Structure 1
Amino acid sequence: MKQGNVLWQGAVHSVLFILSLLCLLPFALLFISSVTDEQSILLHGYSFFPEQFSLSAYHYLWQDAERIMRANGITVLVTIIGTGISLVITSLLAYPLSRKDMPAYRFLSFFVVFTMLFNGGLVPTYLVYTGLLDLKNTLMALIVPGLLTNAFYVMLMRTFFVTSVPAAIIESAKIDGAGEFRAFVQIVLPLSMPILATVGLFQTIHYWNDWFNGMVYITDSKLFSLQNLLNRILLDIQFLASSNFGGTQEGLTANIPTETVRMAMAVIGIVPILIAYPFFQKYFVKGLTIGAVKG
């Protein structure tokens, strides 16, 4: 029986290892395609074993290195500030929802759940941000919309507070003289690192990949985030490739790697997240098991 269990675990681990490798294949193809010669892709398609390697896509993007670095810095700044503030707002809203003795508990719970079903729409949101708050062409336009706390994250954090933070610990802190806020900061938050890391990772990915707010609220190219800048470069390439400049189109577009540059831009956009993810993985996995049935 013991030998059978070992064989079974080995088979399961082998299957999971193979599935993990399959999950990595798209990223491998993405990177290999970004260093493949443009003509090789046009003639033979995408391949894990290209006939000719080339760094022309990265060389093309290097010509805009200054703008890319500035956009990358803006994205990093927005991601750090936005994620930090959104975690504060989310936790401060989720904790009262985990306390059923809180005044107006039902109303606040309904208010949060209601936002999961309905929203104001793009036009009213745009008018509020540009007319009332005057956020157009400011970095706050990339931060504030993401601070409108996602109700799913609030409910996820509230569930963690209810199921994983013993009420007896909070009561003990109050008996020792701690107020509600002090108990929250010194007792609840240190015990809630898994859910904070999980929601923080979600918010980090959201801010890093966000291009919609930049497209709607930012027209100054100096304030473009990385995603908006890469999207603008891609649109410029497509415009040059599809336009006719009085017979000079071939000369203008011959050296533009229209296919491989897309892959190179995707690599530039995704690598920072791939680097950061392993540091959050243990908290991320634990946070996703919140509320699971324990055997």
Structure 2
Amino acid sequence: MTGENAQKSLAIKNDKNNKIKSGTADTVQQIIIYTIVVLFSLMCLLPFVLVIIVSLTEEKSITMNGYSFLPTHWSTSAYKMLFSPNSSVPRAYYVTGVATIIGTLIAALITFGAGYTLANKQCKYRNALSLYFYIPMVFSAGLVPWYMISKSIGAYDNLAALIVPSLLFSPFNMFLVRNFVRGIPNELNESARIDGAGEVKIAFSIYLPLCLPVIATVALFYAIGYWNNYFNAVMLINDKEYYSLQMLLFKIQSELTAMQHLAVGTSNSISPPRESFKMATSVVTMGPIILLYPFLQKYFVKGMVVGAVKG
């Protein structure tokens, strides 16, 4: 009995030692993984930090020393130029923000409706409609029909010009929503029909809450598209009151470049904050999207994964 007890105690000690070694190995692996992730995150973060620092750097310091994390002279002249009392940037911010919010909400709603319809087995011609929506992903009618239709429906030189031409859903987003809806059990649809629910009630009371992850995903796509869209303003806007943020900043940047060219070879001491202004415009334009993304991140990841694997 004494020998058996000794063997048991020895086995227990060996198990404890193995667990300690395994735990130590797991801890070392976790430390290595976390270190790699932190270093990679810092590598991704450093360019953004540099952009912010350069936007607050004096133009002469940038000209003499280039981009630096530790500038010799700081300056807020670029931001003063952006948000001066006579600046049109706040107005452009408002116009772009309104266009982004309204356009994103309506486009996401239309995309959900189309995706739900094509995934609904009650729709007899859903496969033919899917092919119909697939064609614009491959072929485009061109710029002239797009411009003529936009003018004919009144989307010209007004806020609608920034919203309506980009309002039709992207076929890629529509197929993403359709695949997500297909992954939802069809028994929910059948049971709702037995209870007397109509098509609209089923779509918006049952399927819409379940599709929030993929809707948030496509909404983020639409929001980025609307926020960064300057093409509609270039083609359809003449009134400065309706300039989008991207369009206005591009025009200001062009004017600064012209001022710098005029100053070369003359005794004029014009020194517009060109480089710092570029970085300041980057901060101004990317700020809202960066602030929006953390709130949609969990929906974004879930929607992309589930919508991609459900067929």
Find 2:174's aligned residue among 154, 160, 169.
154
Question: Is 1:241 paired with 2:260?
Answer: yes
Q: Which amino acid is 2:177 matched to?
A: M
**1:269 aligns to what?**
285
Please tell me whether the aligned partners of residues 216 and 296 of structure 2 are also in contact (alpha carbons under 8 angstroms).
Answer: yes
Offset from partner CA, 1:138-178 (integer Å, 9 cap, x none): 11110012112100100111111112x22112212112111
Gaps of 5+ in 1: none
Q: Which amino acid is 1:44 matched to?
A: N
Q: Report the Cα offset of residue 95 of structure 1.
A: 0.5
Q: Report the Cα offset of residue 42 of structure 1.
A: 0.8
Q: What's the TM-score once normalised by structure 2's chain length?
A: 0.87
Question: Is 1:118 paired with 2:139?
Answer: yes
Q: Report the Cα offset of residue 60 of structure 1.
A: 2.1
Find 1:287's aligned residue among 303, 307, 310.
303
Give me the whole-angstrom Cα distance separating, in 2, the residues matched to 1:48 and 1:246.
Answer: 31
Evaluate the alpha carbon distance shift between residue 291 and residue 272 of structure 1 in structure 2; reply closer, same or farther with a 3 A threshold.
closer
Greater Cα radius of gyration, structure 1 or 2? 2
Question: Is 1:20 paired with 2:45?
Answer: no
Q: Which amino acid is 1:123 matched to?
A: V
Give me the whole-angstrom Cα distance separating, in 2, the residues matched to 1:218 and 1:287.
Answer: 35
Question: Is 1:42 paired with 2:63?
Answer: yes
**1:197 aligns to what?**
216
Give me the whole-angstrom Cα distance separating, in 2, the residues matched to 1:246 and 1:38.
Answer: 18
**1:206 aligns to what?**
225
Question: Is 1:180 paired with 2:196?
Answer: no
Q: Report the Cα offset of residue 247 of structure 1.
A: 4.6
Give me the whole-angstrom Cα distance separating, in 2, the residues matched to 1:245 and 1:23.
Answer: 37
Tell me the secondary structure at the aligned position of residue 243 of structure 1.
helix
Once the two structures are superposed, the pairs formed by residues 59-78 of structure 1 within 5 Å of their partners are 59-63=80-84, 66-78=87-99
Give me the whole-angstrom Cα distance separating, in 2, the residues matched to 1:122 and 1:26.
Answer: 36
Q: What's the TM-score once normalised by structure 1's chain length?
A: 0.92
**2:235 aligns to what?**
216
Gaps of 5+ in 2: 1-21
Evaluate the alpha carbon distance shift between residue 267 and residue 65 of structure 1 in structure 2; reply closer, same or farther with a 3 A threshold.
farther
Tell me the secondary structure at the aligned position of residue 227 of structure 1.
helix
User: What is the Cα-based RMSD across aligned positions, in Å?
Assistant: 2.0
Offset from partner CA, 1:74-107 (integer Å, 9 cap, x none): 1111011100110111011001111244121122
Give me the whole-angstrom Cα distance separating, in 2, the residues matched to 1:67 and 1:282.
Answer: 36
Evaluate the alpha carbon distance shift between residue 213 and residue 292 of structure 1 in structure 2; reply closer, same or farther with a 3 A threshold.
closer
Q: Report the Cα offset of residue 65 of structure 1.
A: 5.7
Tell me the secondary structure at the aligned position of residue 145 of structure 1.
helix
Q: Which moved more, 1:185-194 or 1:132-141?
A: 132-141
Tell me the secondary structure at the aligned position of residue 290 of structure 1.
helix
Find 2:52's aligned residue among 23, 28, 31.
31
Give me the whole-angstrom Cα distance separating, in 1, the residues matched to 2:203 and 2:274.
Answer: 53
